[in-house]
A and B are shown apart, each in its own frame.
Chain A
Amino acid sequence: MIQYLVILLDDTSVSFCHYGNAKKERRLMPLETLEAGILFGMKENLNIQFVYPAYALPEAYNKAVERVAHVKIKPAAMPDNADVVVMDGWEECESWTAGAGVSCVLRLPKAEWFGHAGRAAALLEKAERLNVVLTDVETFTEDDFKAYEASLQELAGSLAAAYASGKTPQLNLLTDRMMLDKMNNCGAGDTNITLAPDGKFYVCPAFYQAEGGYAIGSLAGGLDIKNAQLYRLDHAPLCRHCDAYQCRRCVWLNRKTTCEANTPGHEQCVVAHLERNASRQLLLEVRKQGTFLPDKEEIREINYLDPFEIRKEW
C-alpha cells in the first residue's frame, strides 16, 4: 500500500539515494502541479516528503508546502529547516553544523569511502542519524568487497565504543539490521511513489532523474502502476527469502543491473550481506557489555554473501 509521496520540487532537486541526477537544467514544478500534488497526497492519506534543489524557492512555494505536514529533504548547500540534509562527498560534511533532530544522508562513491570510513564516526557525533549511500554499488569487484568489509569492521569498533559510553548512534549500514526483525526496504513503487515537476508519477526519483526510467501515471490521469506486484517483496524471488533486512532492495539498481525490478544484482546482495554480518558482530559486541535489545533475536551466522548462491536450498 502506498504510504509516502515524494515530491521533487525541481528537476535539479538533490539526489538522496543511489542514482545520480542527470538533469542539470532548473525546471521548477509549476505551482498548480505542486498544489495538486499536495491535494492528492492529503486525499490519499500519504506522508509527503519534499525534495529541494540548491536554490531558494519563490515565496508562494514556501507557503504551499507548509499547508501539509511533511519532511524536507535538502542539499547541504541550502540546509535551513531541513529534516534531512544530503551531502555529496566528505567535503560537504566539513562545513556542516547539525541542528537537533536532523538526519544526514552522505552520498559518495566507493573510492571516497574506502580508507576514510572512520570519518563517518565523527559525523555521527553531529547527526541524529546518518545514512551512508554508496553511489556505485553496481561496480563493486571482489577487492572492493574486501575493502568494504574492512571499512565496516573499523566503523563497528567505533560504534561499539559509543554504545559502551551510553550513546545510541544510528548508522544505516550497521545499526538498522540490529533493530529489525523483518524487511525494511526502500519500498519504491510499493509503499512510496514520486511526483516529478512534469506532473507525472514515478516509482522513485531515479526513474525520472536518471536515464531509462518510466512514468507510472500522472496527476491528471491517476496512478497506473503496471505490474505493480513486481515492486512487492512477495514477488521478489530472492529477497523474500533473505534476512539482510536493512538492505535498500533498490528496484532502480535492480533494473539497471538485471533488467528486472524484482531481481537484485550480485553486488547489491553482497554489499548488503557484508553490512548484515558486520551488524551481527556489532550486536554480539554490544551485548557483551550488558543487556541490549533483549526482545531481538540474535542475527544468525550464515555461510553465504549472495542468497542467489543458495537458491536451490529453499
Chain B
Amino acid sequence: MAKNITFIVTKDCQLACKYCYLVGKNSKERMPWEVAKQAIDYILDHESDMREASVVWDFIGGEPFLEIDLIDQICDYLKTEMFRRNHHWFNSYRFSFSTNGINYHTDKVQRFIAKNHEHLSIGITIDGTERKHDLNRIYKGDGRGSYADVARNIPLWLEQFPHAGTKVTISSEDIPYIKESVLHLYSLGIHEVNINCVFENVWKPGDDRLFEEQLTQLADAIIDGGYYRDYACSFFSEHLGKPLDCVTQNQNWCGAGKMLAVDAEGNFYPCTRFAQYSLREKKAWIIGNIRDGIDKNKLRPFLLLDRCTQSPRKCIDCEVAEGCAWCQGENYDAADTPTIYQRATAICLMHKARVRANNYYWNKLFRKLELEDAREPYEENKPKPNPLNC
C-alpha cells in the first residue's frame, strides 16, 4: 500500500461549488515555502515511521494549480531530497492532483506536466453534462457555470493521460442527471468514472427511489450500448450488497490516519477532512505540527478503527452492508460527541437503492453475456477500475 501525504497548498479556489464540503475556504491561507520545506524534512527524517513501499504526494486546495509555482518548488525539492537521502520512496512515488481543470492549459501547468509526466496522476473534476456540471460548479462572485472552461481542457488532458478517470459527486439535486452525465463523460473519452453520493445528510424523502430509477436507466444504457466492455462506472460493482461478518470482514473503510495531511500553518492532520476548513461542527483534529512532530497517541484511535466498533446495530445486522462506505471526517463532524467512533448513516437508503440497481445491472449483464456466449471473454478483458474511497 502507498502512503498518501497531502499538502493543502491553498484554501482558495476560482469556484464556489454548491456541494463543496470545504466550509472554511478563503483566499488568504497559502502555504509558505518554508512550511512546505519543513514538512518535507520532517517526513523524510522519519523514514522509519513511514514504511509503506511507495508514496503518493497529493496536492489539494481549494484549487491546487493556483499554486503551481509552489508545487513545482515542492516537487523539485522532494525529488532531490529523496535521492540525496537514498530514501526508499525515491523509486516509487507519484504526484497526484485533483483539479477543477480551469488552469490546466496554462504554460506553467503544462511545463510542470512535461517535467514530471511519468510520476503524475491528475484528475479533472467534471460532473457530467453542461447542465449538470453548471448546476453546482459555478464561479465565485458572478455564479457563472464553469463547464465551458473545463471542457476545453479535456482533450489535452486525455491526450496526456489517456487512462485518467474523473470523480463525480452526487448530491440530492444531481440525481435526475446521473445517467446523462455518466454517458456524457464516456462520450468525452473518459473511460473511468468514479462516482459517489455525498456522505453528508442532504437527502430528501424519495431521493432513494429516484436514485434507483436513474441507476437502473444507466445500467440499461451501459449494457445495451455495450459500454461495459471498456468503460467503468464505480456505481456498479460485483462486490456489493452482501452481509458482512464482524470478525472476518471487520476492516475500516476509510484510510484516515494512515494518510497524512499538512496545511499552510504546518499542522498535521490524519486526513484533510480533519482540517478546520473542512469541518462544519467540530474542532480540527490536529495530530502535531512541523515543529514538534506527530503525536502518535493522536493517531491511535484511527489505527484501531474497525467496522463494527463504530457501526450502529442496524449496520452490523444489515443484509446488504458490503460496499456501504463512510468518511471518517464526516462521521466525526456529524457525531453527537467529538468522536470518530460514531458512524454517520445518512447514506443508508441511498446505498440500499444502489444495491438494488447494482443487482439489476449484474443480472442483466451476465444473462446477456451468457446468451451471447461471451462471459469468458468479458471476464478476461473487463475494465479494472481503481475505486476511490473519498
Interface, chain A (partner B; CB < 8 A) = 214, 226-227, 230, 235, 237-238, 257-267, 308, 311
Contact = CB atoms under 8 A, between A and B. Distances in A.
B341 A258 contact: no
Contact of B285 (A235, A259, A264, A308): A259
Contacts of B339: 227, 230, 260-261
Interface stretch (B42-50, B231-239, B298-306): B298-306
* Central interface residue in B298, B335, B337, by most chain A CB within 10 Å: B337
B296 interface: yes
Contacts of A265: 297, 300
Contacts of B336: 226-227
A265 B340 CA distance: 16
B194 interface: no
Contact of A227 (B297, B301, B305, B337): B337
B113 to A, nearest CB: 39
A265 B336 CA distance: 23
B341 A230 contact: yes
Interface of B: 285, 296-298, 300-301, 303-306, 309, 335-342
Contacts of B300: 238, 258, 260, 263-266, 308
A222 B342 CA distance: 23
Closest 4 CB pairs of A and B: A265-B297, A260-B301, A237-B304, A226-B336
Contacts of B338: 259
Contact of B301 (A214, A263, A266, A267): A263
Contacts of B306: 237
Secondary structure call for the B interface: loop
B243 to A, nearest CB: 21
Nearest to A306: B300
* Central interface residue in B300, B301, B305, B338, by most chain A CB within 10 Å: B300
B64 to A, nearest CB: 29
Nearest to A256: B297
* Central interface residue in A257, A263, A308, by most chain B CB within 10 Å: A263
A257 B306 CA distance: 20
Contacts of A237: 304-306, 309
14 contacts: A214-B337, A226-B337, A227-B336, A227-B341, A230-B337, A237-B305, A237-B306, A259-B285, A260-B341, A262-B301, A262-B309, A263-B301, A265-B300, A266-B296
Secondary structure call for the A interface: loop
Nearest to A259: B298
A266 B341 contact: no
B335 A227 contact: yes
Given A230-B339, A259-B338, A311-B303, A235 B309 contact: yes
A209 to B, nearest CB: 20
Nearest to B335: A227
Given A226-B337, A259-B338, A261-B339, A308 B304 contact: yes
Contacts of A230: 337, 339, 341
Given A237-B304, A260-B300, 16 more contacts: A214-B337, A227-B336, A227-B339, A230-B341, A235-B309, A235-B341, A258-B297, A258-B300, A260-B301, A261-B339, A262-B301, A265-B297, A265-B300, A266-B296, A308-B304, A311-B303
A227 B342 contact: yes
Contacts of B297: 257-258, 265-267
A252 to B, nearest CB: 14
A89 B300 CA distance: 32
Nearest to A214: B337
Contacts of B341: 227, 230, 235, 260, 262
Nearest to B312: A229
B335 A260 contact: no
A258 B301 contact: yes
Contact of B298 (A227, A258, A262, A264): A258
Contacts of A261: 339
Contacts of A264: 300
A264 B335 CA distance: 20
A259 B339 CA distance: 8
Contacts of B340: 260
A186 B359 CA distance: 49
Contacts of A262: 301, 309, 341
* Central interface residue in A226, A238, A260, by most chain B CB within 10 Å: A260
A215 to B, nearest CB: 12
Contacts of A227: 335-337, 339, 341-342
B326 to A, nearest CB: 16
Nearest to A260: B301
A258 B339 CA distance: 11
Nearest to A265: B297
Contacts of A266: 296-297, 300
A257 B303 CA distance: 15
A235 B301 CA distance: 12
B75 to A, nearest CB: 33
A308 B309 CA distance: 16
A91 B191 CA distance: 75
A62 B269 CA distance: 52
A261 B337 CA distance: 11
A230 to B, nearest CB: 6
Contacts of B305: 237
B251 to A, nearest CB: 12
A259 B301 contact: yes
A255 B305 CA distance: 16
A311 B301 CA distance: 12
A308 B298 CA distance: 13
Contacts of A267: 297
A237 B308 CA distance: 10
B297 to A, nearest CB: 4
A235 B339 CA distance: 13
Contact of B304 (A214, A226, A238, A257): A238
A311 B304 contact: yes
A256 to B, nearest CB: 9
B299 to A, nearest CB: 8
A238 B301 CA distance: 9
